[in-house]
Amino acid sequence: MIRLGSNSPTRALILKNFGIDFIQNGGNFDEDSITTQNPKSFCYEATLGKFNELYSIYGCEEYPLLVADSVVTSNNELLRKAKDEDDARRMLNLQSGSKTSVITCMIYKSKNLKLIDISSTTYIFDKFEDKHIEEYIKSGECFGKAGAIMVEGFCKPYIKEVRGYESTAMGLCVEKLLPYL
């Protein structure tokens, strides 16, 4: 049993699909306090901030603590969670027909081990159909996701090429965690 330090239903689903028993306790770390625009640095700082907050509350004596965060980058721009429909549309149009990377950082701490991993999965997308973008935005599924990206949903039919694990793009590189559980 581990403690997932995240409110993400997608991260919870990843653990469930891999048969990992967990309890889920998210935190309130303020990502707006991070000033860097470097995607990899931002992802690490956000994960570390969340980890430090939750470790101070729960520690890892009862259950190992797992915290993760993801960011998206396309055309050298850091893409965070969409603020509104216009922001989601801008991000999706930026990714349409181009290369987009999802960077995920995780920190896992048990009594005997501390694992820090930063992984990246890169997608090359076909051009998104405008009608499909509008349907996706209206569905609301794009909100709460870095870069408004949903590789297991909206983006799936547009994937021309992928380099890396889908789990990384979904928010938790479980393949790299499994050997340590």
Dist. CA 26–CA 7, nearest whole Å: 5
The confidence score (pLDDT) of residue 74 equals 95
Residues of the chain with pLDDT under 50: none
69 belongs to the catalytic site: yes
The confidence score (pLDDT) of residue 108 equals 98
Cβ count within 10 A of residue 35? 8
- At a CB cut-off of 8 Å and minimum separation 6, what does 4 contact? 11, 12, 15, 22, 23, 24, 25, 66
Q: What is the CATH number of the domain that holds 67?
A: 3.90.950.10
pTM above 0.85, yes or no: yes
Q: Which range marks the domain in which residue 157 is found?
A: 2-180
Dist. CA 145–CA 149, nearest whole Å: 6
User: What is the number of structural domains in the chain?
Assistant: 1
If we measure between CA atoms, which residue out of 33, 62, 35 comes closest to residue 50? 33
Structure tokens at 135: 């349907």
DSSP single-letter state for residue 67: E
Catalytic residue among 21, 30, 32, 69: 69
The confidence score (pLDDT) of residue 76 equals 85
How many alpha carbons lie under 13 Å from residue 152 in its C-beta half-sphere?
A: 13
The confidence score (pLDDT) of residue 150 equals 85
